[in-house]
Structure 1
Amino acid sequence: MPAFGSSLLITGPETLLAQRLVAATVAKARKEQPDSDLNEISASELEDTMLSEVVGGSLFSSNIIAVIDDVGACPAGVVDQLVEVARNPSEDLCLILVHAGGNKGKGLIDKLKKAKVPTESVATVKTWELPKFVVEEAKRQKMRISQDAAGELVSAVGNDLRALAAAVSQLAADSDQEQIDSDLIRRYFAGRAEVTSFAVADAVLAVNATVAMERLRWALSTGVAPVLVTSAMAGAFRGMGKYIDAQGSRISSNDLARQLGLPPWKMKDYARTSRYWGPGSVAGAIQLIAVGDAQVKGAATDPAFALERMVLGVLALARR
């Protein structure tokens, strides 16, 4: 479909994906008409005759790429005019409308959809889909990364797509191979407090007391806040509890991950370590972690000692 003589509504909260769609559409239009003008404006500024100026030709070019951001903020008096332009764009207009999702401007969005304006959705990426996003980002950088390594990067960086994209870009730049592996990720993010905390929790789940205590003492010596350790522990054992409850389900691992709200790579960790834990020991662990959390938040005079006692107490509950 040609870029000119068309309109596109991009709607959803993932701004990174929305901006990439805008950039791709603009690039396509520029390839068709290199001398086209690019007009960018927020819909809140479309008072009076401004819309006509944004979508109309100029003295220098008759081809216009018009990007209207935040269309939910379009003034009521301009709504019908904007819908009509989007329904019937002139042959020298490439119109791109961007909406952040939600109820703001819902009436306009409904009218645009009723007018059958082509729409692209950029919905929030689900937790279990994040490793797949990382794999695709690596491909954009002409790099390879396994699902497991992608999962580790998500654990290290979090759920923000911009942060993940930036991390992949940085790792790709620092790698002397065409692959991003777990060793590179651990080396690069070893200093992050959240990663260190998760490493403690992973060692406890695996019932590796020596490694768990080493990682805990390292975390505390490098200034990791004790509350991050209890938070990571609580999340790990809540996930284990969900996994144990759902173990008898006759569904695929990926479907189970979606049902539990966990990334698929994390399911492998739980499958590997679940033999050490049962419903009773998980419940006991969560109780000990709650006590430890209260202690590091002020109930204890020595948070480090409280954490060590919590970790050892949880480890004692595991099946040997």
Structure 2
Amino acid sequence: MPPAAGSAADPAIAPLTLVVGDEEFLISRALEDLRNAVLAEDPDAEVHEAEAGVVEPAELLQLLSPSLFGGRRLVVLRSAQDLPAARVQTIVPLLLDTDPDSTVVVQHLGGAKGKAVLDAVRKAKPAEIACAKMSRAEDRRAFLRSEVRRFRGRITPEAAAALMEAVGSDLREISATAAQLVGDSGGSIDVDAVAAYHRGKAEVSGFAVADQAVVGNVAGAVTNLRWALNVGVPAVVIADALADGVRTVARVLGAGPGDPFRLAPALGMPPWKVKRARTQAGGWTEPGLRHALGVVAALNADVKGAAADPAYALESAVRRIAAARSER
């Protein structure tokens, strides 16, 4: 898999790299790229990771000291912003004065916390990989295009616009979708390829929305909802799936403990559905369920003409159902 432009897997791997920012997906991927790049150069390289909040100077010194047997090392200091102030003067010099066979990576969230560490590392002029959250739509569109290139594909502007509208803002979802579309399309993504991918997801989208909503996963539920609406799944169908999901959890929770195979006939549903609903029921309370049942009852009227915008009514209902799960 080719690296993203400017990543640690570029031909020259810097002896010191700063990974800075608070986007978890980009951090994980940058560290993975660095690890893969070092191991590609030397499959026998040692890889060590340490958490800044708990690492002892002696431990770090041992990791960074020349090995008696030689060989390449990659040392990653995670969460450098958590380095205790009392240890900054001891540990930072160790990071900046390493064995020539060592590659050091310092990961920092980039905020005000631990800024002394960030400033000290930057003074050493490391290679820097930016991993900040992307709040602007144009930045996420650029990220999508870079992901498609990463997986050796191409995407038309129209396809990129359609894909961003459906996927939303989660970078992990954008990356995963880009990878799958490049593979499915043979490398060239157009509007038809995006629509075909949407249709594949839409086969279970109504139930997927409900499954995510009843476990409190707002982001997952909204993403699946957008997929469904974008490919034309009727609002009534999605509303019915949400109602079924909430009612099933309520019925299974009300039935109490017991063998799913014995409860299934009394509840009028297959055993697998009882098992799944029992898993989904964790965290629900009676007040929360009453609220959620009221939400799906009102939604039924909304999508049948009471609401001016059925899509807005659906998204609002999804968020309210997920929030109801935490009511006490």
Bucket of the pairwise TM-score, normalised by the shorter protein: 0.5 to 0.7
The one-letter amino acid paired with 2:16 is: S
RMSD: 3.2
Given candidates 195, 207, 226, the residue that maps to 2:227 is 195
The one-letter amino acid paired with 1:76 is: A
Distance 2:67 2:105 in 1: 18
The one-letter amino acid paired with 2:187 is: E
Distance 1:224 1:165 in 2: 31
The 1:118–1:81 alpha-carbon spacing in structure 2 relative to 1, beyond 3 Å, is farther
Q: Percent identity?
A: 26
Alignment correspondent of 1:66? 75
Distance 1:37 1:94 in 2: 10
Q: Give yes or no for contact 2:18–2:128 (8 Å, CA) kept in 1.
A: yes
Distance 1:133 1:309 in 2: 34
1:302 correspondence with 2:301: yes
Aligned-partner SS, 1:172: helix
Aligned-partner SS, 2:105: strand
Instruction: Tell me by how many angstroms 1:43 deviates.
Output: 1.4
Q: Deviations over 1:136-179 (max 9, x none)?
A: 2222222221122112111111111111111112223333x332
Report the count of equivalent residues. Answer: 225
The 1:116–1:222 alpha-carbon spacing in structure 2 relative to 1, beyond 3 Å, is closer
- Unpaired runs of 5+ residues, structure 2, are 1-10, 203-223, 243-293, 311-328
Give the TM-score normalised by structure 1: 0.60
Alignment correspondent of 2:153? 143
The 1:62–1:220 alpha-carbon spacing in structure 2 relative to 1, beyond 3 Å, is same
The 1:86–1:31 alpha-carbon spacing in structure 2 relative to 1, beyond 3 Å, is same
Q: Give yes or no for contact 1:142–1:178 (8 Å, CA) kept in 2.
A: yes
1:170 correspondence with 2:180: yes
The one-letter amino acid paired with 1:139 is: R
1:161 correspondence with 2:178: no
Matches within 5 A, 1:284-299: none
The one-letter amino acid paired with 2:25 is: L
Q: Give yes or no for contact 2:236–2:304 (8 Å, CA) kept in 1.
A: no
1:221 correspondence with 2:228: no
1:79 correspondence with 2:88: yes
Give the TM-score normalised by structure 2: 0.58
The 1:78–1:310 alpha-carbon spacing in structure 2 relative to 1, beyond 3 Å, is closer
The 1:196–1:35 alpha-carbon spacing in structure 2 relative to 1, beyond 3 Å, is closer
The 1:124–1:308 alpha-carbon spacing in structure 2 relative to 1, beyond 3 Å, is closer
Aligned-partner SS, 1:97: strand
Instruction: Tell me by how many angstroms 1:224 deviates.
Output: 7.2
Alignment correspondent of 2:313? none
Distance 1:185 1:197 in 2: 14
Alignment correspondent of 1:94? 103
The 1:59–1:157 alpha-carbon spacing in structure 2 relative to 1, beyond 3 Å, is same
Alignment correspondent of 1:108? 117
Aligned-partner SS, 2:47: strand
